[in-house]
Amino acid sequence: MAAALVGASIVLVCAFGLLNGFRDASNAVALTVRTRALTPGIAVVLTAGFNVLGTLAGAWLLRAFGTVFVTVPAGSGGLTALAAALVAATLWGVYGWWKGYPSSSTHALVGGLIGATVASAILGGHLPGGLDQVFWLAIGLPLILSPLLAFGAAFVLTPAVTWMVRHTQPSQAHAGLRAAQSVGAAIVAFGHGLQDGQRLVALLVLSTLGSGASFDHVPVWAAVLGALALGAGTLAGGWRITYTLSHRLVRMDPLRAFVSQLVTSAMLAFGSLGLHMPLSTTHTVVASVLGAGVNQDYSSVNGPLVVRLIRFWLVAPLATAALGLVFALAFAPLAGLR
């Protein structure tokens, strides 16, 4: 039974990684495709490649710093909780994709883990300490701070970049900004791999070693498998969410798209290398798009859609916590728990 639980957990982590890449591909490709900086096919291939590279680099960071936000109970209860959380986060991700809503896979996963560990405690297991800290570090602070910082930075930088190109012909300025966007898309994809890919690798290690996992030595197979899952999912595109970001949310031009990608790239790199915090790529991209978009002389932001997105973000960890609780209780007999 233990081997079956390990195998099931690895499969679920890979499925979660595929969905993560599938949904979050839009974060890097939406703006470049919208402004015609890259064709959809080239943008997706470029994003997938840099997602893979970012995941491999994230595995090195995981080994170097040895810290991870995921906490699961010990023994078979921990694998059951992990499986329940992955199922909950995956189902919520599919629902979000169907609605065309960009949302954080990390927040959904953490919500599912919290619900699943509470279920483990209900069944008589040991409730891991520090769940409140995990909630605030992985959900609360990033949910509040990263969108506000991204919005503010994009809002301030938009007139600054406009001033810098004020004497350039619009056609020349847009050509240069589109070229910069191509580089920006690669950096955003690399940052996404650093953030989300690192968590995939950590989940694969936890699936095999349980709560006593040490990240001093990250297996090569875990890094490669996580990178392939994220890259393969990215190649699928996730065009529903891409359409929301590039057409429904804001009327975007090359200058503001460049500002959004610049802010997102800087924040993801700083979050991974400087803060070692799980910043949401999706929340950062959406907030920076809004910050650049509202700084225009004409109405360009879809206000009702923004309200629905914020509501969806707030509900996500609560909904996946409830799903994680239900699935953990349902999976308990399979793991021999009562």
How many CA atoms, within 13 angstroms, populate the side-chain half-sphere of residue 311? 6
Contact 200, 19 (CB under 8 A): no
Contacts of 76 (CB under 8 A, 6+ apart): 1, 2, 5, 335, 336, 337
Select from 71, 8, 97, 32 the least CA-distant residue to 316.
97
For residue 131, pLDDT over 60 is answered with: no
Write down the pLDDT at residue 65. Answer: 45
Q: pLDDT, tens digit, for every residue of 230-263?
A: 999 888 877 788 888 878 888 778 888 889 888 9
How does residue 282 score in pLDDT terms, banded at 50, 70 and 90?
confident
pTM of the model: 0.85
What proportion of the chain, given as a percentage, has pLDDT over 70? 81
Contacts of 37 (CB under 8 A, 6+ apart): 31, 178, 179, 181, 182, 185, 254, 257
Q: pLDDT, tens digit, for every residue of 5-58?
A: 778 888 999 999 999 888 877 777 888 888 888 888 888 899 999 999 988 887
Contacts of 1 (CB under 8 A, 6+ apart): 76, 334, 335, 336
Torsion of CA 250, 230, 192, 181, to 10 degrees: -60
* Residue 298 CB neighbours (<10 A): 5
User: What mean pLDDT comes out for the span 172-194?
Assistant: 85
Q: pLDDT, tens digit, for every residue of 162-178?
A: 888 888 887 888 888 88
Average pLDDT of the chain to the nearest whole number: 81
Point out the least confidently predicted range of 79-83, 189-193, 295-299, 301-305.
Answer: 295-299
Quick one: how far is CA 30 from the chain centroid?
15
User: What mean pLDDT comes out for the span 210-218?
Assistant: 61
Quick one: how far is CA 167 from the chain centroid?
38
Higher pLDDT residue, 72 or 242? 242
